[in-house]
Amino acid sequence: MALSGLEIYKHLPKTNCKDCGFPTCLAFAMQLAAKKVSLDKCPHVSEEAKKVLEGASQPPIRLVTIGTGENKLELGNETVMFRHEERFYHPAGIGVLVEDTLDDNALKSRIDKINKLKFERVGREIKIDLIAVKNSSKSAAQFAKVIKAIVEKTKLNLILMSENVGNLKECIKVAKEKKPLLYCATKSNYQEMAQLAKEHSLPLAVHAENLEELADLTQKIVSLGVQDLVLDTGPKSPRKKICDLTYTRRMALKKTFRPLGYPTIVFTQSSEPNDEVCEAAGYVVKYAGIVITKGAEPWQLLPLLTVRSDIYTDPQKPVQVEPKVYEIGAVKKTSPVLVTTNFSITYFTVAGEVEASKIPAYVISCDAEGMSVLTAWAAEKFTAESIAKMLDTSGISGRISHKNVVIPGYVAVLSGKLEEESGWKVLVGPKEASGIPSYLRSMAS
Amino acid sequence: MALELLKERWSSAINVLKVGAVKEEGGTRASAITVGGQTTLPFLLDEGGMPHRPVVAMEIFDVAPLEWPVSLLEPFGDAVKDPVKWAKKCINEFKADLICLTLKGTHPEAENISADKAVELVKNMLKEISTPLIIIGSGDKEKDNDVLARCSQATKGENCLFGLAAQDNFKTLVASCMADDHCIIADSPIDINIAKQVNILITDMGFKPEKIAMHPSTAALGYGMEYVYSIMERSRLAAFVGDKMLAMPFIIFVGQEAWKVKEAAANVADEPGWGDERMRGPLWEAATAVAMLHAGADILVMRHPEAVATVKRSIDSMMKGNND
Ligand code: SF4
């Protein structure tokens, strides 16, 4: 947290002995507040003061881990309200609900379906992270059986949900190696739940209907020795939910209010399949730590996971695609060749228009340090030389029977030089990608 | 101990934009559409107001867009061949708040439909439908300057929303809209400085700022949506602390971008792991729209009836309890 210089000063010895290299304790405190020196430069600070001051340097939203190994899910430790201020760091965990009332066949087909929720797009795999197993049957034996089947058949992380602490206790041995999230501690059961979480070193979800009661409860649980908490304010309208998520994040970041300094979990309320995804998408963009849906259709999860990848993209870094030759459609040796930059939006816009034209073509993305065509051209990152080099080294010549290349209309001025440098015949394409389909069609005819 | 939540109170509001004019105002619309006026980030109704809910315009073309994926064409049937019939279907069956007519066919490289014909269509459209109208050019600057100016003149008093006015081509359209008392869309390429600059250029000509809608660009989910999202958030935050040249409501052309990408359009036969495109396509469009709503979108221009219905329900659910 940001303690002020004066607040820090209160905890220093106030002897002005100068051993830290500063003339006074206050001067040292000011530098500490500005994060310009570290506390260990003062050899005289008491253990107690150290605790307070180091506690204050903990991240405002605790990093909580669910699961183990390479599949583990890390949540929290976010630093900003808006992604443009820095970035969002730990992508929201996305999971699907499984109730333990399913019979064997239904369970098997649900798990099979869930296991298929991984998608390859833009050269990256995106997939769900979690299964939330709900003890709707209220039977410990049934709960254990379903958890066991899930543990055996998936690598996904788990949330174990039961209102009955006894049932959780009994079933934990089936899944504790997977470090599941226990759901959930409430006003009435928190002592037992905290005990269970502590015994097995598991993260614990905490539920209360409003933020005030929630803050109260987390403080009690922390005092029992459990710190890896995930917050839930229960079912309410999506709008209220977004308010809860926003205020939780804001109180943690702007007020360093530790009782709410944890990641959050949300379960969708809508039952209509499209509505459910839209509701979940809202939670993903507005700060949710975990979002659990009932729907498990690929056409539901693909957009939801994509919303997450978009929002958690680092805004400082221009997103780039690998500079290389891309085949769009069933290309032949006579198919046209288009060049563009490796800025992902530029590339995908071009690729999308080529695809829409239904005329197969090669698109070569040139390394322009992730800039768009005009920006790269102005910065001399997209030049006759760099395009010529790409034509030469990308291996495109071996794949086609012609030597014609289409360049973006905005860099028409490069034509002459590029013809000289490369020996290719240069054709000037449209300025905007939206003109590509008609351009390609007229080329073909 | 009572927990006091930290609430933001902003000093400035987003402009209120009214599209369409009723009889008393010199137009012929049954009612106008009003957006904007927010004093809070999207849907944080506990700390500020959203006096006007976001609206959905359905986009139709002057020529049948036969290149659209089947899953998008299907719900309209033969109506896509007749813009007026198409618009009516959108309003009556699919509950569009207003219509966005894109004059794509006027492009010299498309059907090169004449300005006369475009004017005829626009006039006929206004006669046949009762909602406000958004009119968008073909993207060919020269032709747009002719076609849109003529359409503006022919619809004087109707308070249509015309677009797009961009940094390198705004004067003709601004002059027309000002003379004929229409609203205008200020277009910019995912760049907050240019967005502001276009608004300055337009208002410098004497155009009223409260008749401008901003288009900060649109990108589909998975294809740069987050860039637009952050530009919108930055722009809103600046407006709330007093930047009048960023205080215009947003218009976002969701349908046009979402349906370009293969995640929306591809057949399940080509992408078996992605599920039925009849479910996936509309949801891709709806999910893009929902992300834009959470960034502050005021007017969403959309295409698929199922996506429109989903997004309207989403708006309802987010506005619920406005007064509690
Ligand atoms: S070393 Fe510690 S006690 Fe001595 S002046 Fe610095 S801060 Fe004060």
Q: Which atom of ligand 1 is nearest to the CA of A28?
A: 7
Task: Please determine, looking at this structure, whether the domain spanning A5-57 carries the CATH number 1.20.200.10.
Answer: no
pLDDT digits (tens, 9 = 90+) for B75-124: 999 999 999 999 999 999 999 999 999 999 999 988 999 999 999 999 99
Which CATH superfamily, name and number, covers B16-318?
Dihydropteroate synthase-like (3.20.20.20)
Q: Is A284 close to ligand 1, i.e. is its CB under 6 Å away? A: no
CA torsion B61→B65→B69→B70, rounded to 10°? 100
Domain boundaries, chain B: 16-318
Q: For A272-298, give one letter per residue: b (16+ CB within 10 A) or e.
A: ebbbbbbbbbbbbbbbbbbbbbbbbbb
Q: Give the DSSP letter string of B110-157.
A: TT---HHHHHHHHHHHHHH--S-EEEE--S-HHHHHHHHHHHHHHTTT
List, for residues B196-234, the tens digit of each pLDDT value.
999 999 999 999 999 999 999 999 998 889 999 999 999
For residues A233 and A245, the answer to whether their CB atoms sit within 8 Å is no
High-pLDDT (> 70) share of chain A, %: 98
Average pLDDT of chain A is 93
Q: Give alpha helix (H) positions in A154-202.
A: 165-175, 190-200
Mean predicted confidence (pLDDT) in A98-120: 95
CB contact under 8 Å between A277 and B287, yes or no, is: yes
Question: Does ligand 1 lie within 6 Å of residue A44's CB atom?
Answer: yes
Phi and psi for B72 in degrees, rounded to 5? -95, -35
Q: A4 C-alpha vs ligand 1 centroid, how far in Å? A: 17
Alpha-carbon distance of A204 to A181, in angstroms, equals 6
* pLDDT interval class at B324 (50, 70, 90): very low
**Ranges A314-318, A343-347, B48-52: which has the least confidence:** A314-318
To the nearest whole angstrom, how far is the Cα of A232 from the nearest Cα of chain B?
17
pLDDT tens-digit map of A196-216:
999 999 999 999 999 999 999
CATH of domain A325-444: 3.40.50.11600
Q: Tell how strand A118-121 and strand A64-66 pair up.
A: unpaired
**pLDDT-derived band of residue B270, with 50, 70 and 90 as boundaries?**
confident
> Pick from A285, A319, A356: which is nearest to B260 by CB?
A356
Q: Is B42's pLDDT higher than 70?
A: yes
pLDDT (mean) for A324-352: 91
Annotation-wise, does A373 bind a ligand? Answer: yes
The helix or strand, by DSSP H or E, that contains position A133, with its residue range, turns out to be strand A130-134
- CA dist A35 and A14 (Å) reads 19
What is the pairing mode between strands B183-187 and B212-215? Answer: parallel
Name which of A242-246, A375-379, B271-275, B297-301 the model is least confident about: A375-379
Confidence of residue A378 (pLDDT cuts 50, 70, 90): confident
Q: Kindly report the protein residue whose alpha carbon is nearest to atom 7 of ligand 1.
A: A25
Min Cα distance B79 → chain A (Å) is 23
Q: How confident is the model at residue A32 (pLDDT cuts 50, 70, 90)?
A: confident
Token pair 């299907």 is found at B74
Q: Given this model, what pLDDT does residue A117 score?
A: 96
Tokens of A265: 């979990």
The enclosing H or E element of A308 equals: helix A298-311
Chain CA centroid to CA A239, Å: 22
Res A256: pLDDT: 87
Taking residues B181-193, what's their average pLDDT?
94
Work out the average pLDDT over A230-252: 96
Chain-chain contact of A119 with B273 (C-beta, under 8 angstroms)? yes
Residues A260 and A249: their CA atoms lie apart, in Å, by: 8
Contact B275 A298 (CB under 8 A): yes
For the Cβ of A139 lying below 6 angstroms from any atom of ligand 1, the answer is: no
In this prediction, residues A247-269 reach a mean pLDDT of 95
Q: Is the CB of A80 under 6 A from ligand 1?
A: no
Q: Using a 6 Å cutoff on CB, does residue A20 contact ligand 1?
A: yes
pLDDT, one tens digit per residue, over A2-12 is 678 888 899 99
**Ligand 1 lined by A326 (C-beta under 6 Å):** no
Quickly state the pLDDT bin for A417 (edges 50, 70, 90): very high
3-state secondary structure of A139: coil
Which has the higher per-residue pLDDT, A385 or A123?
A385
- What does DSSP assign to residue B275? -
The CA distance from A184 to the nearest CA of chain B, in Å, is 22
Task: Return the CATH class of domain A64-311.
Answer: alpha beta
What is the average per-residue pLDDT within A230-235?
96
According to DSSP, residue A251 is labeled H
Q: Which pLDDT value is given to residue A57?
A: 67
Q: Which residue of B lies nearest to A256 if distances are taken between CA atoms? A: B6
A52 Cα to the center of ligand 1, angstroms: 17
- Closest residue by Cα to residue A157 from A218, A114, A186: A114
- Residue positions counted in chain A: 445
Hey, are the CB atoms on B229 and A247 less than 8 Å from each other? no
* Chain A residues closer than 8 Å to B237 by CB: 82
Q: What is the mean pLDDT of residues A371-377?
A: 85
Q: Is A226 annotated as a binding residue?
A: no
Which SS3 state, helix, strand or coil, does residue A231 take?
Answer: strand
The answer to whether B95 touches B131, Cβ cutoff 8 Å, is: no
Please report residues of B whose CB lies closer than 8 A to that of A355: 262
**Angstroms from B23 CA to nearest CA on chain A:** 37
Q: Which residue in the set A239, A250, A310 is minimally distant from B226, CB to CB?
A: A310
Q: Is the CB of A39 under 6 A from ligand 1?
A: no
pLDDT value at residue A375 = 81
A18 lines ligand 1 (CB under 6 A): yes
Q: How far is CA A272 from CA A200, A431, B107, in A?
A: 38, 43, 41
Coil, helix or strand at residue A413? helix
> Could you tell me if A129 and A114 are in contact, meaning their C-beta atoms sit under 8 angstroms apart?
no
Residue B280 has pLDDT above 60, yes or no: yes
Greater model confidence, B312 or A47 = B312
Find which of A239, A286, A345, A441 to mutate to test the B interface (most B CBs within 10 Å of its CB). Answer: A239
Q: What is the DSSP string of A59-72?
A: -SS--EEES-GGG-
Kindly write down the DSSP assignment for every residue of A348-411, as one continuous string: HHHHHHHHHHT--EEEEEE-STT--HHHHHHTTSS-HHHHHHHHHHS--GGG-S--EEEE-GGG
* Cβ–ligand 1 contact at A25 (below 6 Å): yes
Q: Do A237 and B260 touch (CB under 8 A)?
A: no
A21: CA distance to ligand 1 center in Å? 8
CB neighbour class for A105 (10 Å; exposed up to 12, middle 13-18, buried from 19): exposed
Ligand 1, atom 6: closest residue by C-alpha = A20
Listed in sequence order, the residues at least 6 apart from A157 whose beta carbon sits closer than 8 Å to its beta carbon are A66, A67, A71, A72, A73, A93, A95, A129, A130, A131, A178, A179, A180, A181
Residue B311 to residue A212, Cβ atoms within 8 A: no
Interface touch B263/A303, C-beta < 8 Å: yes
Q: Are B222 and A121 an interchain contact pair (Cβ–Cβ within 8 Å)?
A: yes
DSSP state letter for B303: -
Burial B172-211 (b: 16+ CB within 10 A, else e): bbbbbbbebbbbbbbbbebebebbbebbebbbeeebebeb
Contacts of A406 (CB under 8 A, 6+ apart): A336, A337, A338, A339, A427, A428, A429, A439, A443
Q: How remote is the C-alpha of A364 from its chain's centroid?
A: 29
pLDDT band at A276 (very low <50, low <70, confident <90, very high): very high
All residues of chain B having their beta carbon less than 8 Å from the beta carbon of residue A297 are 275, 279
CA distances, A393 to each of A376, B102, B129 (Å): 20, 43, 58
d(CA B318, CA B238): 24
**Chain A nearest CA to B176, separation (Å):** 26
CA atoms within 13 A on the CB side of A252: 28
- Pair A436, A430: CB distance under 8 Å: yes
Contact B67 A116 (CB under 8 A): no
Quick check: ipTM above 0.90?
A: yes
Q: What is the pLDDT of residues A126-160, one digit of tens each?
A: 999 999 999 999 999 999 999 999 999 999 999 99
- What pLDDT is stored for residue A341 in this prediction? 95
Average pLDDT over residues B242-264: 94
> CA–CA separation, A94 vs A152, rounded Å?
20
> Is A184 annotated as belonging to a binding site?
no
Residue A372's CB is within 10 A of a number of other CB atoms, namely 22
Which residues on neighbouring strands pair with residue B89, listed in sequence order? none
